Structure 1
Amino acid sequence: MAERMLKFVGTSQAMPDKRPAAERRRDFDEIYSNYAREKAAEQAARCSQCGVPFCQIHCPLQNNIPDWLKLTAEGRLEEAYELSSATNNFPEICGRICPQDRLCEGNCVIEKGFDAVTIGSVEKFITDTAWSQGWVKPIRPRRERPESVGIIGAGPAGLAAAEQLRRKGYQVAVYDRYDRVGGLMIYGIPNFKLEKDIVQRREKLLRDSKVAFHLGCEIGRDVSMEELRQRHGAVLIATGVYKARDIQAPGVGLPGIAAALDYLTAANRSGLGDAVPGIESGALYAEGKNVVVVGGGDTAMDCVRTAVRQGAKSVKCLYRRDRANMPGSQREVKHAEEEGVEFVWLSAPQAFLGKDHVSHVRTVRIHLGMPDASGRQTPQEIPNSHVNIEADLVLKALGFDPENLPEALATPDLGVTSWGTLDIDWRSMMTSVDGVFAAGDIVRGASLVVWAVRDGRDAAERIHSYLTTKALNAQRIAAE
């Protein structure tokens, strides 16, 4: 091992080739190329194989990162893929969209002074190679179980749970109100971060594994929750959170002001070949416009970088804190700056100006005061510091809240927290309704895809325990 690993002293960090900003501004293709096999092995060999791998500890999935880095360095890619996919249902997706600078790579012990191992890029390379070599196979359970599980939501949590349950032999049906599988992975994340065929091949794999999908099916409207409970031995709610947070400011209802997800969904649907009224009318299209995005998370970064590619006249990101306190990936901020996005730090919208359409955002400068209960400095407005920023299209990217699910699902017995998320027993992951479980953003609030995958996997285990216990109790009662 010593001969192949510990190369970080003599080998510098090298990401896969990144296309020049001037070139990538013109299309929605992914910005990084793939590693060559030799380069992936070289970068994997930089791993120090530390005894307490902080990269693994800080990964929500507890991925066996040092182990598959070692296998990659040794050229044992099929084994590396098997190890990587043992803990992660979508390694090639996480390798593309996870904020590695905040998770695994940000906690790499060699980062200080030597730059982190490029974990995400190697993870992507391993699984893309596995797909191209035909190593990724449909699931064939050792034995089929009679029990079935209904999953509401075809996003990352629902799909991860579906795969894990199918591996155990359960009959799995996934219900989603949208017309495609993938949730935010298909409609919320732009192609330059995650090309849609990457998601669609996962869908095909699950279909080939005999997972049934019922698309365009809204629970509470097309099928009742009670009917779903009668069809299935257990039900998992993994709907995610889609309700956009709004801005309380004068003029917020003016035409030309839109929610970030509406804008991103329109762009992604257009890229998939759909006819989108908001694109055709220009209402949700940035070409030739002065675009202002309000917010500082990864959704805001997706918006500004999409607007650049649509040919916006100018793109500004308005954020009330400074760069160091930005919740989005610093890597994404750097990409956006390279592509021509202007960041207006320590600035917040106070009003939206215009008669029949937004024309300016009235902003106020912000000073960061003392930390609040969460430890973050409190934004405070600086008097008489107003600046008007020209805007033809304003996108609100302030995060997401859950819908009123007891009402939407016509299931008033579903318990919710003060945050509006579903209230579950964290040991069993069951809601207040027997046999109905919940996982992902609808439980923890808007979060990362990798956390949704983790929750989906955990929920699958709890559902398995519930159904096997139920079957054993039925056998015992029958025997008596």
Structure 2
Amino acid sequence: MSSMKALRRTMIEDKAMAEEKMLKFVEKSQQYPDKRDHSERKQDFDEIYQEYAREKAAEQASRCSQCGVPFCQIHCPLGNNIPDWLRLTAEGRLEEAYQLSSATNNMPEICGRICPQDRLCEGNCVIEQDFDSVTIGSIEKYITDTAWNEGWVQPITPIQERAETVGIIGSGPAGLAAGEQLREQGFQVHIYERADRAGGLLIYGIPGFKLEKDVIERRTKRMEESGIQFHLNYEVESLEALKANHDALLIATGVYKGRELKAPGVGLGNVHKALDYLIASNKKSLGDAVQSFDDGTLNAEGKNVVVIGGGDTAMDCVRTAIRQGAKSVKCLYRRDRENMPGSVREVKNAEEEGVEFIWLSAPEAFVGADNVETVRAYKMQLGAADATGRQAPVQVPGSSFELECDMAILALGFEPEDLPALFQAPELNVARWGTVKVNHTSMMTNIDGIFAAGDIVRGASLVVWAIRDGRDVAEHMQAYIDTQSSDDIQPSSSVAAE
């Protein structure tokens, strides 16, 4: 009996000691990892934030209030167990913190770098209003980077190998997440990618100052070591023919087609789409020969650059232009700062680096002979709210002004390509805006055994949502294959006779 009392006393003391390490938001202020000075960081494409020291990560994790209703977790598309791995970090139990964080997220080191935490977990932290939020994203990045450095991240070793194969079209976050989940269940996974590297927009669309490329490459290398086969430079000629090689097929192509802008002069030289510009820059950073960059077409050096748009892609473009040595960089956005869809943190970083934002402005025309020389724009004001409750921008009469411009970049969002035509699959059902239609209960398209997930279904969205979709669709694909396998098992004649 005395031993039971001693054990209970020890448990109570351990709990008390653990609780002492939390709830430090009153005495510890918010502190992100050190950020390189703007004069230094705009000279290269390296990430701008330094790594947390171990004790600093634990200190910031200890600020978590361990609230009964964790709004950070509720507002995370992946439902990450944020309070739990913050507590483990505060207690110095980093390997356990990594195991917990990776249990719900295939790429925590990537989400920690590029998720708009100010709109998701951190923006909904219960201590945010009075004490500033816990630095969730930076701690998530620290935990997983530590796990890689310590060798805790190992290749996937399924408990049992299965003979069935799955094919995945696209190696962006949805495809990679689905591939990992299916491989864990023992399936033979083949990922088909039309580019020469795996990663989709993670590798070619997001600049290194937000996501260094070795972070993605070590993730895809782990997948290869796990037995996942990547087929690079692969153009899908026929959806039907590819499906014939697999027990189930996933369309996870993402959306790559830049939205068009209807304005006089938009077809002039030096008016470029954001993705063309970013891909050229990222390829150059990876050491590739890029003719359109080398001949100056997609190089902002010495140019007056005007970027149209207000999302995270626009922020990637303006900050890339700064690093390429642009003479000036201006960003036109038709709404005000408060209504900008891009990350508040990214806007601040861009301003520190020398980007000029021209709020409540929109392009009227691109003026020049063969190449654009000026952008004629007009002022906007926010009018009545639309159906979503967002105020619609309205042109201010007589407010035209001109901006000198040697390179204009359109960062207006992305749309799907014409997949039925691209994949010779006219029977594939798509919505009127081009996204693939699925049964939202099974995530299957109208074609038996062919599933779809990520941006190609929901439209251009966040990486974290693509990972969530990839994880979800993997469950549905497994259930489908299991059902097909059980249907193939026929009763013996003696059983049938009974």
TM-score range, shorter chain: over 0.9
Q: Work out whether 1:372 is the aligned partner of 2:386.
A: yes
Q: Work out whether 1:459 is the aligned partner of 2:476.
A: no
Q: Work out whether 1:315 is the aligned partner of 2:329.
A: yes
Q: How does 1:330-479 map to 2 (within 5 A)?
A: 330-476=344-490
User: Which string of whole-angstrom CA distances, capped at 9 and with x for unpartnered residues, describes residues 301-358 of structure 1?
Assistant: 0000000000000000000000000000000000000000000000000000011210
2:426 & 2:249 partners in 1: Cα distance? 16
Q: Work out whether 1:208 is the aligned partner of 2:218.
A: no
2:378 & 2:243 partners in 1: Cα distance? 52
Q: How does 1:120-135 map to 2 (within 5 A)?
A: 120-135=137-152
Give the structure with higher Rg (CA).
2
2:490 & 2:179 partners in 1: Cα distance? 29
Q: Which of these residues, 104, 109, 113, is aligned with residue 130 of structure 2? A: 113
Alignment match, 1:328: 342
SS in 1 for 2:77: coil
User: Which string of whole-angstrom CA distances, capped at 9 and with x for unpartnered residues, describes residues 3-51 of structure 1?
Assistant: 0000000000000000001111111110000100000000000000001
Deviation at 1:472, TM superposition (A): 1.2
Deviation at 1:158, TM superposition (A): 0.2
SS in 2 for 1:219: coil
Number of equivalent positions: 477
2:244 & 2:299 partners in 1: Cα distance? 45
Alignment match, 1:101: 118
AA in 2 matched with 1:255: G
TM-score by length of 1: 0.99
1:338 & 1:207 partners in 2: Cα distance? 40
Alignment match, 1:239: 253
2:371 & 2:481 partners in 1: Cα distance? 56
1:2 & 1:329 partners in 2: Cα distance? 33
SS in 1 for 2:25: helix
1:160 & 1:413 partners in 2: Cα distance? 27
2:331 & 2:190 partners in 1: Cα distance? 41
User: Which string of whole-angstrom CA distances, capped at 9 and with x for unpartnered residues, describes residues 127-149 of structure 1?
Assistant: 00000000000001000011110
SS in 2 for 1:143: coil
Q: Work out whether 1:33 is the aligned partner of 2:50.
A: yes
Q: How does 1:62-211 map to 2 (within 5 A)?
A: 62-211=79-228
Deviation at 1:281, TM superposition (A): 0.7
Long gaps (5+) in structure 2: 1-17
Q: Work out whether 1:217 is the aligned partner of 2:234.
A: yes
Q: 1:477 to 1:364 in 2, by over 3 A?
A: farther
AA in 1 matched with 2:265: G
SS in 2 for 1:190: coil
SS in 1 for 2:346: helix
1:31 & 1:210 partners in 2: Cα distance? 34
2:223 & 2:84 partners in 1: Cα distance? 27
Deviation at 1:226, TM superposition (A): 1.7
User: Which string of whole-angstrom CA distances, capped at 9 and with x for unpartnered residues, describes residues 167-194 of structure 1?
Assistant: 0000000001110000000000000000
SS in 2 for 1:235: strand
Deviation at 1:2, TM superposition (A): 2.1
Long gaps (5+) in structure 1: none
Deviation at 1:477, TM superposition (A): 5.4
2:304 & 2:491 partners in 1: Cα distance? 69
1:278 & 1:95 partners in 2: Cα distance? 32
User: Which string of whole-angstrom CA distances, capped at 9 and with x for unpartnered residues, describes residues 339-379 of structure 1?
Assistant: 00000000000000011210000001001100011211111
AA in 1 matched with 2:431: T
SS in 2 for 1:7: coil
1:436 & 1:2 partners in 2: Cα distance? 49
1:28 & 1:7 partners in 2: Cα distance? 35
Alignment match, 2:68: 51
AA in 1 matched with 2:28: T
1:50 & 1:76 partners in 2: Cα distance? 20
SS in 2 for 1:136: coil
AA in 1 matched with 2:70: P
AA in 2 matched with 1:202: R
Identity fraction in percent: 66
Deviation at 1:419, TM superposition (A): 2.0
SS in 2 for 1:315: strand
Deviation at 1:476, TM superposition (A): 4.1
